[in-house]
Amino acid sequence: MSRAVTIKTMRPLTHPSIEDITVEGILHALSDPVRVAIYAELAGATCTNICSNFLQISDRSIPKSTLSQHFRALREAGLVHSERRGVEMHNTSRCMEIEQRFPGLLPAILKAHGVQSADRVRAAKRKQAAARKQGG
């Protein structure tokens, strides 16, 4: 009795050339709060990050399948470069390339994201303080 062995080949990862990256594609990819949070962390990183580093982001647990879709959207928009190494996917930001194509775009988006995130943290703290005040 012989068994057939199925070898599953991985689809190659595609990355748009810098000339094919559009402002609309970037804005669409970063319009999702989870993706912009992922990208903000990648943009500030000094080394590659594996996808599983982002299973917990913005106080949310993200399923692996959903995380894969977020990274695909970031990759297809040209925001990240992904490379398979064994079972892990290593990701780096393409900030420097995009800065050359669209000067100031990503710093402005990331600054606005930072302001918005800080506002949300302050609002959550005010809400917690108000709840404690009511309870005690």
pLDDT at site 106: 96
Say which residue, 132 or 105, is predicted with more confidence. 105
Going from N- to C-terminal start, the domains of the chain cover 18-124
Note the CATH number of domain 18-124: 1.10.10.10
Q: What are 25-75's pLDDT values in tens digits?
A: 999 999 999 999 999 999 998 888 888 888 888 778 889 889 999 999 999
Q: Supply 119's token pair.
A: 């506002």
pLDDT at site 6: 59
Task: Find the mean pLDDT for residues 97-105.
Answer: 96
Q: How far apart are the first and last CA of the chain?
A: 74
Could you tell me the maximum CA-CA distance found in the chain, to the nearest angstrom?
74
